[in-house]
Structure 1
Amino acid sequence: MNFIYRSLSTIPNRYAFLDRIDKLVAENEQVSLLLIDVVRFSDVSSSYGYEVGDAILAQVAFRIKNLFGEKALIGRISGDIFGLVLPGTHSDLQLQKFYAHLTDHFKTPITFNEQAFVADFNVGAVANNQGNRDITKLFSGAESALKQAKADKYKNFHVVRIHEQPNSGRALALKADLKRAINNDELELYFQPKVRLSDLTITGAECLLRWNHPLDGVIVPGVFIEAAESYNMMNELGYWVLEAGFRSAFEFEMARQQVQVSINISPTQLYDSRLLSKINDLATYYGIELSNIELELTEDVALSSSLMVKKQLSQLKATGMTIAVDDFGKGYSNLGYIRDIALDTIKIDKSFVMGLDTNPVNKAIIEATQVIANAKNCSVIAEGIETMEHLHVLREMGVQTGQGFLFSKAVTIADFLELTQSDLIVGDSLAYRNRVG
């Protein structure tokens, strides 16, 4: 059982899988991609528990791998969906035969602890066009095919063809603009204060990226992150943010402000073997104690079962940096990951805080998060504090740190330093601060 579980954890997750496809397509774009959804698998986990579910998924994954040979690439896209890349040029009929080969093979049940499970699948398939090296287009085609396969009650299989669509002028312009932005210092970090709720002292700063576009003004990341992902620029962008974060930590020290700087780390960076050495180089160059740096990762990255991610996080934590998981509770119900990775901070997603005064379940979720954090010896940060009522309730619950518009929106480093050197935190009024103190 333990061997199987560890084997499941070695399967590349979505990000690592896409990275492998990218490298493969760069050498030869003649590949096909199948997304394989294990039908009604949630019933297995619900009936027999997640441990049994993971063991059965491991058997499914490695039987698929053995079925299609050493040249096939397999990855775990989400809980019960696998990706399979097959090199070569394939017709619709050949892809249909691959599906039939898969389903025929799995008519033999999977057994575990005297339980038998017959796997059935929805499969979406796409054959790459010659000359296409845009894996986003390839993956989108497979996702579209899988969606149609799920909608078909009779076939459970669908093939789509990638239709060549030249990049729009705006898309190409955005790519060029983003490269220029990195090279011409158009990017800037803004900082949102993290505040100790007991006395409203600023204890930390979360770095948030902004783009000072010469024509469009200040642009927030949601607009251009998609372009960075599409053009494989996330590593480049991530390392710009990392260095800017260290430079900001240096500026805080020069201003004699003891502020821990929190830097969001991108998924692609956690699969980059250069990450640790780059961080050590930045710490040396700027003379920063790594205990003054916190790395924030999103919950979907934390959920990754990748051994490389776990190794990276362990090595990063060993340097003295703290590790935080952001948006906790926002997208995933499987809490197993929070048990298995080393964390220092759990950030409660703002959706639970902002509805705190209207939904009693939100309060229960925050209390449960505190229990988990205490068991892991973690701190808790509440995001999205916007009202005095939020502040009072969170204080009563024992939450010690928070951030949100009640204290400040994200501001430039000059404005942030002004905040740290004044009493004007809540409502821009000392009297207001004294009233809640």
Structure 2
Amino acid sequence: MPNPHFSLATIPNRYAFIDKIAHCGKKYKQLSLMLIDVVRFSDVTTSFGIEVGDQFLLKIANRLQGLFNQQMEFGRISGDVFGLVFPGVHSPRALQQQFEFIVEHFKSPMYHDGHAFIADFNVGAVTQFQGDFDLTVFVSRAEAALKQAKQNKYENFYVMSVQGKADTGRSLALKADLQRALARDELELYFQPKVNLQTLEIVGAECLLRWNHPLDGLLFPGPLIEAAESYNMMNELGYWTLDSALRSLVDFALKGVDISVSVNISPTQLYDTRLVENLQAFSRKHNVSLSRLELELTEDTAVSNSLMVHEQMAKLRALGVKIAVDDFGKGYSNLAFIRDLALDALKIDKTFVMQLSNNPVNQAIIEAAKVIGKAKACEVIAEGVETIGQLHVLREIGIVTAQGFLFSKAIPQHEFIRLAHSDIIVGNSPSRQQGDIAG
């Protein structure tokens, strides 16, 4: 196990770490690089000061090093971004498991000078498994993966291969992957429950796409979405998701689960003039009312000054489709547009929920969202609930609906149905009784 650092100054900085990466590239034929960004760490330094922030960064660095006993190199790329290099071949699934291992370990808080902090991460990874090693390409691909991870909604993880875009043949293969995945039914919807915080009953679900890859197993669909965007196939992928979501409502009803489902919709699809007619066709096909469907728009799409977006939203709501603004507060909200939009729900970005105990401003932002929601007569949903303490604070604020790992991660349909019929929702585990959170 590596020796702990007693100062940030002893951790290899960007230049020293890149030298280590170059050395590994010469020594090993296959290796992987993970860049680990501490989410919203600026909130810590703003609230507690730079000295306390540095102590937390030091604790994070030593924890990260201690998690991996195998041969690896560790460094600090920038202020709150660390790097890990692992020699050997690593599949996307293996790297994802390492990411999940890190996240799970850091759910226990760190303490310093009377302050507590629970770290959350964005992680981008790159793999080198064939061809000549190119240091510049290797590092830049890792940084591109980290950028994509920051845009992912829940897992905040993204992995690329060095060959991914440098090789035109691989780019074409991604398109073939998408076409094959759609044709051979390799895609699957997972469902993360939305829970009433007072009754702990499941009242809805968010649909999230997963890819059952024939070689790599279950994957997050990042590469497929990359291919869909590159080859103008986002609508095809989006309509598959909407069709599957409405079909799932039929299956839920047959199993006695009476809920609504929400689906993330891309700006590309929102601009498609066939959106309304296709939704009507899916509704007739499955004999399902569109009032049981909610579409989640990103904040910047919802507040865009686009006449077509506003017209599409009006047509969708006329069909009974509910409209939600996702990740509310994450961007720079134009409250004038929010004021004028007809909405059914505001979903509070998870970073405000996950750091409720660290910064009173986060609670104030959630309280403000609650006030806005009440004035607009729309639901306010909290994302990213992971602890009993967060649940209690949200109850006190008056938030009614939430989702997060405290209740369940996104799970396959059959597991979701079983969970919906379960008496134990919190923690999705028999070891934690509902009496623990009786309010």
- Give the TM-score normalised by structure 1: 0.61
Deviations 1:73-124 (A, max 9, x none): xxxxxxxxxxxxxxxxxxxxxxxxxxxxxxxxxxxxxxxxxxxxxxxxxxxx
Give the aligned residue type for 1:248.
S
Q: How many residues align?
A: 273
| 2:384 alignment counterpart | 384
Describe the SS at the equivalent of 2:209.
strand
Q: Which residue of 1 aligns with 2:285?
A: 285
Residue in 1 aligned with 2:226? 226
Code of the aligned partner of 2:435? N
Partner secondary structure for residue 347 of structure 1: strand
Matched with 2:321 is 321
1:300 maps to 300
Cα distance in structure 2, aligned partners of 1:169 and 1:434: 57
Alignment of 1:7-46 (within 5 A): none
SS of 1:173's equivalent? helix
Distance 2:342 2:259 in 1: 22
Aligned equivalents of 1:296, 1:166: Cα separation in 2 = 34
Aligned to 1:274: 274
Structure 2 equivalent of residue 21 of structure 1: none
Which residue number in structure 2 is paired with residue 332 of structure 1?
Answer: 332
**Structure 1: unaligned runs, 5 residues or longer:** 1-164
Deviation for aligned residue 1:216: 1.6
Contact 1:424 1:430 in 2 (8 A): no
Distance 2:380 2:404 in 1: 14
Instruction: Map 1:96-175 onto structure 2 (within 5 A).
Output: 167-175=167-175
Q: Equivalent residues in 2 for 1:43-58 (5 A)?
A: none
CA distance in 2, matches of 1:242, 1:359: 38
**CA 349–431 in structure 1, closer or farther in 2 if over 3 Å, else same:** closer
1:424 Cα shift?
A: 2.2
Distance of 2:306 and 2:418 partners within structure 1? 42
Q: Residue in 2 aligned with 1:56?
A: none
1:203 aligns with 2:192: no
In structure 1, the partner of 2:67 is none
Query: How many angstroms apart in 2 are the aligned matches of 1:283 and 1:260?
Result: 14
Partner Cα separation in structure 2 for residue 399 and residue 221 of structure 1: 31
Q: Deviation per CA, 1:172-229: give whole Å up to 9, x if none.
A: 2111111100111000000000000001100001000001111121111334322211
Residue 253 of structure 1 corresponds to 253
Question: 1:419, CA displacement in angstroms?
Answer: 0.4
1:44 equivalent in structure 2:
none
Secondary structure of residue in 1 paired with 2:433: helix
CA distance in 1, matches of 2:355, 2:261: 28
| Structure 1 counterpart of 2:352, one-letter code | F
CA distance in 1, matches of 2:282, 2:328: 29
Q: d(CA) in 2 for partners of 1:223 and 1:184? A: 17
Residue deviations 1:284-304, cap 9 Å, x none? 111112221111111121022
Q: Does residue 417 in structure 1 map to residue 429 in structure 2? A: no
Counterpart Cα distance in 1 of 2:298 and 2:358: 26
Partner residue, 1:433 = 434
Contact (CA 8 Å) 2:188, 2:209: kept in 1 or not? yes
Cα separation, 2, equivalents of 1:207 and 1:319: 20
Q: 1:421 Cα shift?
A: 0.8
SS of the residue corresponding to residue 330 of structure 1 reads coil
Q: Structure 2 counterpart of 1:434, which letter?
A: G
2:212 aligned counterpart, secondary structure? strand
Does the 8 Å CA contact 1:423/1:430 hold for their aligned counterparts? Answer: no
8 Å Cα contact 2:317-2:323 kept in structure 1: yes
- 1:231 shift after superposition: 1.2
For the 8 Å contact 1:326–1:346, the answer to whether it is kept is yes
Q: Distance in 1 between matches of 2:249 and 2:318?
A: 20
Query: Separation in 2 of the partners of 1:423 and 1:170?
Result: 47
State the Cα deviation string for residues 361-393 of structure 1 (Å, max 9, x = none): 100100111111111111100000000111010
Separation (CA, whole Å) in 2 of partners of 1:256 and 1:406: 24
The alpha carbon displacement at 1:166 in A equals 7.5
Distance 2:221 2:387 in 1: 26
CA contact (8 A) 2:426 2:432 kept: no
Structure-1 separation of matches of 2:223 and 2:273: 28
Alignment-mate amino acid for residue 429 of structure 1: P
Residues 320 and 370 of structure 1, relative CA distance in 2, 3 Å threshold: same
Return the offset for 1:425.
Answer: 1.0
- Alignment partner of 2:426: what SS? coil
Distance in 2 (alpha carbons) for counterparts of 1:364 and 1:312? 33
Secondary structure of the equivalent of 1:215? coil
Q: CA shift at 1:305, angstroms?
A: 1.2
TM-score by length of 2: 0.60
Look up the equivalent residue of 1:288 and give its one-letter code: V
Q: 2-side partners of 1:221 and 1:271: how far apart?
A: 22
Letter in 1 for 2:193: P
Superimposed CA distance per residue, residues 111-151 of structure 1 (whole angstroms, 9 cap, x where no aligned partner): xxxxxxxxxxxxxxxxxxxxxxxxxxxxxxxxxxxxxxxxx
Distance 2:335 2:220 in 1: 31
Distance 1:429 1:254 in 2: 26
